Amino acid sequence: MITLGIDPGFARCGYAFIEAKNSAYKIVDSGLIETFQNQEYNQRLSFIYTQLDELIKKYKPSNAAIEELFFSKNTKTAIKVAEARGVIILALTLNNIEFQEYKPKEVKSQITGNGNANKDAMMKMVNLFTGSNIIQDDTADAVAIALAHASRNRIFNDIK
């Protein structure tokens, strides 16, 4: 079963497709969907949608998880991220992918045991759990979101 984790962003959107194998997790693919300031606003949103749609069609995840919007002091940035989340949710919905939303503290707590963990602690645990060497924080966050969701699903399925 492949799980998609998404760290939404307007300039950089992290994604990770992970697969649970026995008690281990393997990263199938991960990276960034990047847009640039010299692109038209609507083109940036369209690019996020089309790139994610292509990735979903390629890897066919059975479920997904996305980080809830974290309200920052910069309203303009928050609005851009909210609009990016909108096209991300549209891509998931049009591909019939059920998704769960997670607060950043939930993911941090599940991955590191500390809801206030910093980026370095998150990256260290993500690399430990997956045997990878991710150095980009948006990608590591997407992997962490996917891991948190996949492990919750595994626990839930074991209880059934």
Annotated binding site: 7, 67, 138
Whether residue 67 lies in the annotated active site:
yes
State the residue for tokens 């626990």: 155
Give the residue numbers of the binding site for Mg(2+): 7, 67, 138
Sign of CA dihedral 134, 140, 59, 88: negative
User: Of the listed 7, 53, 98, 120, which one is catalytic?
Assistant: 7
Catalytic annotation present for 138:
yes
- Select which of 19, 29, 54, 67 is catalytic: 67
Q: In terms of Cα–Cα distance, which of 160, 46, 156, 35 is closest to 100? A: 156
Residue 21, judged by CB atoms within 10 A of its CB (0-12, 13-18, 19+), counts as exposed
Task: Point out the catalytic residue in the list 54, 68, 120, 138.
Answer: 138
42 CB neighbour count, 10 Å cutoff: 9
Query: Residue-wise over 73-104: b if at least 16 C-beta within 10 A, else e?
Result: eeeeeeebbebbbebbbebbeeeebebebbeb
Q: Say how far apart CA 70 and CA 123 lie, in whole Å.
A: 19
Contacts of 83 (CB under 8 A, 6+ apart): 10, 45
Catalytic annotation, residues: 7, 67, 138
